[in-house]
Copies of this chain bind each other. A is one copy, B any other.
C-alpha cells in the first residue's frame, strides 16, 4: 500500500458555470448543488469518495476566494491550510501547479490525484479501485489519467486513444483528441480504442512541477516564487499580487498533450461531467414515462421531462414532453431538454441588466 500512503488528493472546486441556472448561481456554482441521486453536494460526494481511499488530512481543495466559505462549510474536516483560494481563476494548469507546490512541501515523493469537484460518479467502489490503480501507476513516474468507456458518440467530451497494456489495467495513452465532430466521435466509439477524457489525473507532485518548468516555464518560475514565499511565511501576499498574471492554460493542453509517458486507467464506473440539465435527466431515476419528477409529482400525457422544485412543492405536467422545469424559489426556468445549454443566454441577459439572480 505504498501508493496510497504517499497519496494526496487535489479537488478542483473553483468552477463557476451557468449551465445549471437557476439552481446554480455565480455565487453558488454547480459543485455546491446536489445534482446526484442523494442530497449531498457534488463537492461533498467527491470528497467522501476520495476519503474511501486516502485520509482527509491529505486532501487539498483549490477554489476561488468568493467560494472559500462554502467549501469550508461543505467540508468541515479540512484545515484552513488545506483550502487554496485563487484570487482569480486561471484554468487548470496554474491551479494544479500551485497545489503541487503545497503537496511537494509536505512530501517530496507525494503522488497527487487531481479530481474535479463537479462530476457525477455512481459506483463508488469501482471508483475507489480505479483511484488506487491510478495512484499506483503514478508511482512508476508516469502521468496517469482516468479514461471512461464511451457509451455514446458524445461530441462534448475529449477522447484519449488507448495503446498497449503496460500493467494490469493500465494502458499507454497514444494521443488526446479535443471535442470531435459527430462523425469522428462515432468512429472513435466504434473503434473501441478510445476513452473519454475524465479530467482526473495522477502524477508525482515533483514530476508535474518539472513538466511545468519545461513546457510552461513562465508558470514554473512563478510557482517557484510561491514556494519560496510559502517557506518564508508570506505566500498569500505574493499569490494575491501575481496570480492574475499566470497563463490561463489547461493542464491537458499545457502539459498532458506534450509529455510522453502518459498512461490511462480505464474507469469502469458510470460517470458524467454534468454538462447541462440534460445530463441531470439522464442520470436521475426516471419513471415509466422517462420523467424525472419529485415525489408526488403528477404527469398526465407527459414524457421525458425533468423537474426540480423546492421540497414539498407540487408539480403537475399535462401534455408536455421533453422539457426541463426548474424552480429555484426566486426563479423558474422552462426549456426543452435539447436546448438546456441555452440557459446561458438567460444568465447573459440577467448579467446585462444587473440582475443578481444569476
Contacts and interface: CB of A to CB of B under 8 A. Distances in A.
Interface of A: 21-22, 296, 298, 300-301, 309, 312-320, 323, 325, 327, 330-336, 339, 342-343, 345-346, 349-350, 355, 357
Copies in the complex: 2
B332 A309 contact: yes
A3 to B, nearest CB: 47
A25 to B, nearest CB: 12
B334 A334 contact: yes
Nearest to A296: B355
Tell me which of A298, A317, A325, A332 has the highest count of chain B C-beta atoms within 10 A of its own C-beta: A332
**What are the 4 A-B residue pairs with the smallest beta carbon separation, nearest first?**
A314-B331, A318-B335, A319-B339, A316-B346
Contacts of A349: 298, 300
B334 A300 contact: no
Which label, helix, strand, loop or mixed, suits the secondary structure of the A interface? mixed
A332 B345 contact: no
Contact of A320 (B298, B319, B334): B334
B298 A346 contact: yes
Nearest to A335: B318
Contacts of A350: 298
A342 B300 contact: yes
Contacts of A325: 332, 334
25 contacts: A296-B355, A298-B346, A300-B342, A300-B346, A300-B349, A309-B332, A312-B330, A313-B330, A313-B332, A314-B357, A316-B332, A316-B334, A317-B333, A317-B334, A317-B335, A318-B334, A318-B342, A318-B345, A319-B335, A319-B336, A319-B342, A320-B323, A327-B327, A332-B332, A334-B334
A339 B300 CA distance: 11
B345 A314 contact: no
Contacts of A313: 330-332
